[in-house]
Amino acid sequence: MAQAAPPRISPFYDPRWRSIAFQLLLCAVIVWLAYSAVTNAAENLARARIASGFDFWNSTAGFDISQHLIPYSAQSTYGRAFWVGLLNTLLVSFLGIVFATIIGFAIGILQLSKNVLVAKLARGYVEVIRNLPLLLQLLFWYNAVLKALPVLRDSISIPGGMLLNNRGLFLPKPIFGPGFEAVPIAFVLGIAGAFGYRHWARRRQALTGQQAPVFAVGVSLILGLPLLALALTGFPVTFDFPEMGRFNIRGGIEILPEFAALLFGLSIYTAAFIAEAVRAGVQSVSHGQTEAAYSLGLRPLPTLRLIVVPQAMRVIVPPLTNQYLNLTKNSSLAVAIGYPDLVQVFTGTVLNQTGQAVEVVAITMAVYLTISLATSGLMNLYNRRIALVER
Amino acid sequence: MRPQAFVRTEPVPAMPPPASGRGVTGWLRENLFSGPLNIVLTLLSLLVLWWIVPPLLNFLIFDAVWVGEDRAACIVTPDRPRVGACWAFVAERINFFIYGFYPVNERWRVDTFFALLAIGIVWLLATWAPNKRVAAVYFFIVLPIVSIMLLLGFAPLRLSYVPTSLWGGILVTVVVSAVGIVFSLPLGVVLALGRRSRMPAVRLFSIIFIEFVRGVPLITVLFMASVMLPLFVPEAWSPDKLLRALVGVALFAAAYMAEVVRAGLQAIPRGQYEGAQALGLSYWKMMGLIILPQALRITIPNIVNSNIALFKDTTLVFIVGIFDFLRTIEAARIDPKWATPVTSTTGYAFAALFYFICCFMMSRYARGVERRLETGHKR
């Protein structure tokens, strides 16, 4: 039997041709948009006599930055200012992530407490914080709380040699004497030793079934070795206490109120979201898992550690990654309260001084994109490790 | 010898009910004082409540100043040692907070806009309201056009021109969020469809756009819109400041909306697509009649949640110099006429109440829809 020839359809109705034509059209529109944007930009820049290119990178910045982790002065270059801003962003993001994780996990677990009062209180925290704009919270912490602290003359002194006033928090600065190098080395050795011990304990458990106190030994290795090193070298640490002068405070480490407000606001805000993720994750582990663990004779704490947490982490990690990224991106709100982060230094001051909007905004966006992609890449790696392995 | 009776003739008196597990004390014992850890937690919570609630109530209500002309009403005097929130300041500036610098005689236009918007929102979201299709047309097509004519001015109707530089306060906050919502949903649907398209060029473009926008902070998008957009268009059309911010917000919101819609599209079983194709529906008919109605319905809670995020994020236009609600608070709180130690906190408390009420209502709505959608077949 002869096979019927496929019916001839006009190319207009052929899905293949249609899709090719549509894609060509889309590409043409995008190319045209890009082309007109570039020509317009060239024209507008030429008219405004704004240079283009990255030559500004090596010219003198001429402005000061209140907090710099690397040496910086007004004579430094714009490139240096960029690195200062980036490091400040990374600093506040890193510390923010640490604090937000701690607070968030605590609140998330408290939300699940059988104690109604505690659970409701934690729930209230989450509801209130999540429903208020971060910018409002930052402005509140900065303008209404930290800027309302007493002036320099009436600084509050906190036990331990700390001073608090509306210019910031002043902490004693540790000065490391000779021989202190042994302590970080001991710390690294402690971590390596803890991992080695864990490895050995696991192998032994797999072979003989005997368990070893991994946690206690690990903690005592990581904390004990540096303390031992400190004691053996004769405590080569002295403190430079902040001292009240007439017009300013001498010595010590200064924590700017801008930094404190940003760190505080970011941690508290993100913690509310992390708490929700934690609650959802723990609730996603079905009760049957806990009951099965109990019926195998596990006590509540091992049940939590061996059965519930590993399964909950699988659900918690993806939203947690998102929150870490959000926190990093939200740290750009620093510009509203004047903390010298990447956006404030670079997209603010450098952009205003050079007028090179395209280059400056492009660099800033590239930095955030890189951070975002790198973080989500790392988290995906971790996620793949703990993901459920199915048949 | 007494007869041996093993059968009781009268009933044993009833035992008292168990002390715990019943009544207020039982509830308290079970929930708050069931063990040493629980007792500690309860006491700590009570302590936290004691720290937070009375001072907060004192500040907001009992010590608050409700009427007054200027700062004299809200400063600490010997016969009034404690001063709470200075609501007199908010009362005096309330019109500034709502309308910004919008001309006083034209403010009815803003009120009309608010009313039209409220009608649209209720019509679109309330379950009892009929004709959702008409509501969608009203909200996404009629309302934007009418609002532009109303707020900006429309000569044929004798509505005088009010430049956007005079707009401010809650008006701007509402306009920015409304524009973000109205434009981000259609754009987000298109981007989500593009991301799931089988055409490589379309898919690539959608992915690049979505991931790029989601990878950068809103502030940089706003900076881009406010400093780069004027460069990219011919000088003659240089968009005004508010419009630039609106473009930035709409594009930003669209990328997030696209991911929300994509999640909804992925939740629709394959059989629905195959069924539509078997009926001979074209791509757009399949999407418009079969897939999207179902997908959007189940994503309503997520759409509302992302609108809450958008509503909070509108405060960021503050940074590129738009006079939104938060900015009016910032401007008013440093006014020397009301310079008191409590003015800033009062302003922030007022802003917090406003944002909290709006966001809380939205999240309650999302929760309600979620509960209604939780029908038996979903597991």
Classify domain A78-172+241-386 by CATH number. Answer: 1.10.3720.10
The number of beta carbons lying within 10 Å of the beta carbon of residue A320 is: 23
Q: How confident is the model at residue B18 (pLDDT cuts 50, 70, 90)?
A: low
The residues near B84 (Cβ < 8 Å, ≥ 6 apart) are: B58, B59, B60, B61, B62, B63, B64, B65, B342
Say what angle helices B200-215 and B241-267 make with each other, to 10 degrees. Answer: 120
Helix (H) or strand (E) segment spanning residue A40: helix A15-48
Q: What percent of chain B lies above the pLDDT cut of 70?
A: 96
Say what angle helices B343-373 and B325-333 make with each other, to 10 degrees. Answer: 160
Q: For B187-216, how does the pLDDT look when each residue is reduced to its tens digit (9 = 90+)?
A: 999 999 999 888 888 999 999 999 899 999
Contacts of B231 in chain A (CB under 8 A): 40-41, 44-45, 357-358
Provide the b/e sequence for B141-165 (b: ≥16 CB within 10 Å). Answer: eebeeebeebbebeeeeeeeebebe
The residues near B201 (Cβ < 8 Å, ≥ 6 apart) are: A23, A26, A27
The yes-or-no verdict on residue A377 having pLDDT over 50 is: yes
The yes-or-no verdict on residue A8 having pLDDT over 80 is: no
Q: How many residues does chain A have?
A: 391
End-to-end Cα, chain B, rounded Å = 72
The yes-or-no verdict on residue A94 having pLDDT over 80 is: yes
pLDDT at A2 (0 to 100): 55
Contacts of B202 in chain A (CB under 8 A): 22-23, 26
What is the C-alpha to C-alpha distance for residues B309 and A331, in angstroms, rounded to an integer? 16
pLDDT at A390 (0 to 100): 60
Give counts: helices (H), strands (E), chain A: 14, 8
- Quickly list DSSP for A181-195: THHHHHHHHHHHHHH
The yes-or-no verdict on residue B34 having pLDDT over 80 is: no
Tokens coding B142:
């009629």
Q: What is the mean pLDDT of chain B?
A: 87
The predicted model gives B77-103 an average pLDDT of: 87
**Strand ranges (E), chain A:** 156-158, 162-165, 168-171, 173-176, 237-240, 243-244, 249-250, 253-255
Q: How many residues does chain B have?
A: 379
- Quickly list DSSP for A96-146: HHHHHHHHHHHHHHHHT-S-HHHHHHHHHHHHHHHTS-HHHHHHIIIIIII
Determine whether B47 is exposed, middle or buried from the number of CB atoms within 10 Å of its CB (0-12, 13-18, 19+).
exposed
Interface size, chain A vs chain B, as Cβ–Cβ contacts under 8 Å: 154
Dihedral sign for Cα B31, B36, B38, B41, please.
Answer: positive
Per residue, the 3-state secondary structure of B178-226, as one string, reads: HHHHHHHHHHHHHHHHHHCCCCHHHHHHHHHHHHHHHHCCHHHHHHHHH
CB contact under 8 A, A369 and B216: yes
Q: Is B50 on the interface with A (CB under 8 A)?
A: no
CB contact under 8 A, B348 and A144: yes
- In CATH, which superfamily holds the domain spanning B89-373? MetI-like (1.10.3720.10)
End-to-end Cα, chain A, rounded Å = 46
Contacts of B170 in chain A (CB under 8 A): none
Binding-face residues of B in 330-369 toward A, CB within 8 A? 330, 333, 341, 344-345, 348, 351-352, 355-356, 359-360, 363
Here the ipTM equals 0.86
pLDDT at A5 (0 to 100): 67
The CA distance from B286 to the nearest CA of chain A, in Å, is 15
Q: Are A364 and A343 in contact (CB under 8 A)?
A: yes
A115 closest CB neighbour out of B32, B232, B234: B32
Q: Are A45 and B231 in contact (CB under 8 A)?
A: yes
Q: Is B131 on the interface with A (CB under 8 A)?
A: no
Domain residues of chain A, as ranges? 20-48, 78-172+241-386
Contacts of B234 in chain A (CB under 8 A): 40, 43
Lowest mean pLDDT among A44-58, A253-267, A304-318: A44-58
CB contact under 8 A, B217 and A343: yes
CB contact under 8 A, B352 and A364: no
Among A226, A225, A239, A222, which residue's Cα sits nearest to residue A177? A239
B225 or B127, higher pLDDT: B225
Q: For A338-363, how does the pLDDT look when each residue is reduced to its tens digit (9 = 90+)?
A: 899 899 888 888 888 888 888 888 89
pLDDT at B336 (0 to 100): 87
B306 or A242, higher pLDDT: B306
**SS3 category, A350:** helix
Per residue, the 3-state secondary structure of B251-272, as one string, reads: HHHHHHHHHHHHHHHHHCCHHH
Start and end residues for every CATH 1.10.3720.10 domain found in chain B: 89-373
Among B290, B15, B133, B359, which residue's Cα sits nearest to residue A129? B359
What single DSSP character describes residue B377?
T
Q: Are B231 and A55 in contact (CB under 8 A)?
A: no
The yes-or-no verdict on residue B1 having pLDDT over 60 is: no
Q: For B104-161, how does the pLDDT look when each residue is reduced to its tens digit (9 = 90+)?
A: 888 899 999 999 999 998 888 887 888 888 888 898 889 989 998 888 888 888 888 8
The predicted model gives A67-85 an average pLDDT of: 86
Task: Find the Cα–Cα–Cα–Cα dihedral B113, B117, B118, B119, rounded to 10°.
Answer: 110
Strand A237-240 relative to strand A173-176: parallel, antiparallel, unpaired?
Answer: antiparallel
pTM, two decimals, is 0.86
The yes-or-no verdict on residue A55 having pLDDT over 60 is: yes
Q: For B163-179, how does the pLDDT look when each residue is reduced to its tens digit (9 = 90+)?
A: 888 888 999 999 999 99
pLDDT at B379 (0 to 100): 38
Among A89, A64, A87, which residue's Cα sits nearest to residue A76? A64
Q: What percent of chain A lies above the pLDDT cut of 70?
A: 97
Q: Are A369 and B212 in contact (CB under 8 A)?
A: yes
Name the closest residue on chain A to residue B31, using Cα atoms: A115
The yes-or-no verdict on residue B378 having pLDDT over 50 is: no
Q: For A157-182, how does the pLDDT look when each residue is reduced to its tens digit (9 = 90+)?
A: 887 778 888 888 888 888 887 778 88
A196 or A12, higher pLDDT: A196
B72 or A383, higher pLDDT: B72
The predicted model gives A317-326 an average pLDDT of: 88
- The phi, psi pair for B136, rounded to 5°, reads -65, -45
The residues near B339 (Cβ < 8 Å, ≥ 6 apart) are: B71
Q: How confident is the model at residue B358 (pLDDT cuts 50, 70, 90)?
A: very high
- The phi, psi pair for A236, rounded to 5°, reads -80, 45
Tokens coding B353:
């109440």
Q: How confident is the model at residue B5 (pLDDT cuts 50, 70, 90)?
A: low
